[in-house]
Each structure stands twice: as C-alpha cells, then as structure tokens.
Structure 1
C-alpha cells in the first residue's frame, strides 16, 4: 500500500507541476514578426539620419556624435555580427566594427574614408525591388537615391539591407551592402 500511495503522490506532483495558470505559458514567447511597414519606417529613419549628419556637418555642429548615435541605434553591432559593405569602399571593403562604420559616414578610423554622409545629401529615398520577411528577420533589396544638396542631382545606389529585431523591439540592420550600378564598357571598334 505504501508503494501505491507513493506512486499516486508522485503522479500528483507531476500533474500539479505541469498545470498552467491563467496568463501563464509553458512555451517561450515567440518573437513579434517583422512587418513591411516596419522595414519602410526603418529605411526612412536611416535616410533621415544620413541627411541630418550632413546638415550637422554643414552647420558646424557635432556631426561625429550624430553619426555615432546613428550607427549605434540603427545597426546591430551590439547584438552580434554586422556585415557592412559600403558603396565607396575599395581598400578596406568591409566594415565589421562599429567604429569602422562610423568612419565610413564621417571619416576617422579607416584612411580611405571621405565621409559619405558629409556630401551633404538633402534627401534619401528607397525603392524596394522586394522585401523578404521571416519570423525574426527581414531582407530588403532595391535602389536608393541620394539627392546632392548642392546640385539637386540624384545618385542611384543599389542596396541590400538585412534587419533583425533588437531587444527594445526596434529593427536593427545586420546586413548592409551598397554598390553603384554596373555600367558595361561599350566596344566601339
């Protein structure tokens, strides 16, 4: 009889231990899926930031601090690896650290950098060829256009941006690849 009572008691402990209470879940919470609207908003914030850095440079304000905040809040360097291949990078093609990314936008750490955001640009607009959304990441690819403040001309650049959701719920860039469009040489002869 003691064995029977012990078996029943053990079974009760197992059952009570597995009971969930209202509002309690036994499965870990699923990440909130990324939406296209969030990708569009992240792109707008990124473009506005590039314009703001150039404006701060022109107005002799602290553009380097603004660039550091731009990279720190929009890129996932604090979360892990970020794959960043800037448009105007040749000698050091990839910027895998936060200081290298900041250097690309405003000069500093990497000798070839001329400060892409210091052009300055008056506008940045994205035209997505497509956006792929997974449960916890997204990838957007297309062209973005940078309007030169001084001439009003647009520079067309191809891009691929990868996004993940940060701890605060906002999208962070973990892949950034930019390149000028390919222009084949013509053969006249």
Structure 2
C-alpha cells in the first residue's frame, strides 16, 4: 500500500512539474514571439521617415555645392553625404544617376563620389552634379510604398533650383532600407530627365 501511494504521489508530482515546465516554455515562447514582433515593428519603414530622408538628401546636395562655392573641402562633404545616406557599406547599391550616359550605373562608393563631385579619370563624363551648385531641392512624391518593414520605395519628381533661380525637374525612384541603427539608407536610386519627344 505504501509503495502504491508513493508511486501515485510521485506520478502526480511528475505531471505537475511537467505542466509547470510546459507553461514556462509556452510563456517564454510567447514572450519571444512578442519581442520578435516588437523588434520587427520598430524596423518598419514609414512614409514620414522616407520624407525625412529625402529632406536630408536634398540638404546634403545643397551643402556640397555651398562648400564648393566657399572654397572648402567639397569632396569630404560629398563623402559624408554618401556615407550617411547610401548603403554602400551594407551591400549592393543600385544607382543610376541622371547625368550619366557612358558609365550609367554606379555600383561603388568611388563611382558615386565621382558623379557628385567629378575629378575621377575613370568617369571622364562626370562634371560634378552636386557642385553645379543647387540652392534648393524640392520633392514631389507621386507615391511612397512603405509600412512594409523591410524596404520602402518612393517615386516622383524632384526639382533642383540653380543659382539663377531656375528649377530643373528630374524624375526619381529611390529604394530605402534600415541599417542596424534604424537609419534609412538608400540602396536603389534612379533618376532621369523627363522624356522629351522633340
């Protein structure tokens, strides 16, 4: 009788302990799942973040031109612009700039730098887009595909104001991802002058 009671008691304890472990594992799994969802949601890209990144890009282009006009280190300003806003350190960047016809695609940091400031013999066509210079960049989004966490895409026209006050209209498509610090970085950039049937 004692042995049977002991066995029943031990069996009941084992079931109780097993249930406690299962509840703990379930609770931990749910917490982990919630954390993953929370972490993912903090990485989601919003339209507001895209608009802010666009403003930073435009301000960077204007700054490079101003540093150039002031006789400063405009190449360093351009390097900082690319390092801060483009994802060359993250992997591939698909960059097809407006005023490039011979070397149309700029897959490397140096190729992008050459486009913005010129002076690289490898890209003889580059005159330095950012040192035109421009005094203002105005964005007009046709649409922003965002709120999808991994990547956002924006398309529309941006307008570059020259020193004489003339606005130049350019079409663009930008693709953005977030780096490990949650900062938007450009991984795709295509721009072109509007089609002219003449």
- TM-score, with structure 2 as normaliser: 0.82
Paired residues for 1:97-176 under 5 Å: 97-107=108-118, 108=120, 109-136=122-149, 137-149=151-163, 151-176=164-189
Q: Would you tell me which structure has more helix in proportion to its own residues? A: 2
Q: Provide the aligned C-alpha RMSD in A.
A: 2.3
User: Which string of whole-angstrom CA distances, capped at 9 and with x for unpartnered residues, describes residues 56-111 of structure 1?
Assistant: 11111011111011001101112222110000011111011112111110112522
Question: Of 24, 29, 32, which residue of structure 2 is paired with 1:26?
Answer: 32
Following superposition, the deviation at residue 34 of structure 1 comes to 1.9
Query: For the pair shown, which has the larger CA radius of gyration, 1 or 2?
Result: 2
Is 1:37 matched up with 2:37?
no
Residues of 2 paired with 1:31 and 1:77: CA distance?
25
User: Which string of whole-angstrom CA distances, capped at 9 and with x for unpartnered residues, describes residues 106-163 of structure 1?
Assistant: 11252221110010111111111111114222111111111111x2211111001111
Residues of 2 paired with 1:44 and 1:83: CA distance?
20
The worse-fitting range, judged by mean Cα deviation, of 105-114 and 67-76 is 105-114
Gaps of 5+ in 2: 1-6
Residues of 2 paired with 1:131 and 1:16: CA distance?
43
Match of 1:54 in 2: 65
Figure out how many residues of one structure are paired with residues of the other and give that number. Answer: 182
